Amino acid sequence: MSLQPTPWIWYDGELVAWEEARVHVFAHALHYGSSVFEGLRAYATPRGPAVLGLTPHVQRLFASCKIYRMPIPYSAEEICQAIQETIRANELESCYIRPLVFRGMGILSLDPRAFPVQVVIGAVPFGKYLGNEDQGIDVGVSSWQRIAPNTLPAMAKIGGLYVNSQLVTMEARDRGFAEAIVLNTAGYVSEGSGENLFLVKDGALYTPPLAASILGGITRAFVIQLARDLGYPVREEMIAREMLYLADEAFFTGTAAEITPIRSIDHIPVGEGACGPMTTHLMEQFFGIARGEMEDRFGWLTPVAP
């Protein structure tokens, strides 16, 4: 999906024009991947735009920066307000929001702590990331592995980590798949290139735990909360690769992916090769809440004040 420019970007405390939001070519983040980011969605609702999971996303942004030892020069409340300000300034009803914290220009050094920390927030129109809500996608198991424990922090959303995801995605596309499933270094199922994974087997919902080198997804947490509320058993446990081929249903979750059904894995149909009943039920409930068509019984939405 091509990026559609919007008029304004929040840059270090003020709104600047899109074309003026510039970074120096010697910014540390450009050379060494020293950035932390988030991805959020705002949905159009009958009462105006509302951000899904604003507080937990901003909390995770601060948690990632803490792990990476990169202090954000703003409070969490200021970042929440800046996100809403950016949506309002660009007059968007629904959009994808990208807060980015990065190290700016200084000397060339692998100790980034002397470099200035900068913050930008952009908001752009954004449609469906993978497939559509009615049809599933075809995926394959990647030859690339998810990062090993104690090499890089899998629980942090650090820009440099996504080189791994880029390699996974390019390989998947070259093989004719829409996306890939990545195994961890022990051979257990981890996640997609940028999504968490769920399987349905015998009426229960399975997903890998944090120990499987996954990112603790906000949408993942919402789906677990929703599934338990609907009475579905949820099991966070290590998943063997072969269970991918025996699952009754499978789907990805993520801010961009939302809930995306998977219809085949390594050319083997998942269940009946179509979106299954539990996935359909969870999607109906998730999108119903996100779009303001159902009661926000979990407090997921933050309306963007006019």
For residue 128, pLDDT beyond 80: yes
Identify whether the C-beta of residue 169 lies closer than 8 Å to the C-beta of residue 242: no
List the end-to-end C-alpha distance of the chain, in Å, as a whole number: 29
Concatenating the DSSP letter of every residue in 136-157 gives -EEEEEEEEEPPPTTTS-TTS-
pTM of the predicted protein model = 0.95
> For 186-201, what is each residue's pLDDT tens digit?
999 999 999 999 999 9
Q: Helix, strand or coil for residue 246?
A: helix
Q: What tokens does 49 get?
A: 């735009």
For residue 132, pLDDT beyond 80: no
Residue range 176-195: mean pLDDT, rounded: 97
For residue 175, pLDDT beyond 90: yes
Closest CA relative to residue 144, chosen from 215, 213, 243: 213
For residue 216, pLDDT beyond 80: yes
Q: Residue 133's pLDDT band (boundaries 50, 70, 90)? A: low
Residue range 81-104: mean pLDDT, rounded: 97
pLDDT, position 204: 98
Q: Residue 107's pLDDT band (boundaries 50, 70, 90)? A: confident
Pairing label, strands 258-265, 268-269: antiparallel
> For 109-127, what is each residue's pLDDT tens digit?
888 888 999 999 999 998 8
Identify whether the C-beta of residue 142 lies closer than 8 Å to the C-beta of residue 180: yes
CA separation, residue 304 to residues 83, 88, 124 (Å): 9, 7, 15
pLDDT, position 36: 98
> For 282-302, what is each residue's pLDDT tens digit?
999 999 999 999 999 999 999
For residue 135, pLDDT beyond 90: no
pLDDT, position 306: 81
The domains located in the chain, with CATH, are 8-124 (3.30.470.10), 137-290 (3.20.10.10)
For residue 184, pLDDT beyond 70: yes
For residue 100, pLDDT beyond 70: yes
The verdict on whether 157 is a catalytic residue reads yes
pLDDT, averaged across the chain: 96
Which has the minimum average pLDDT: 109-118, 161-170, 230-239? 109-118
pLDDT, position 129: 86
State which amino acid sits at residue 164.
Answer: N
Residue range 41-60: mean pLDDT, rounded: 97
pLDDT, position 127: 83
Greater model confidence, 275 or 134: 275
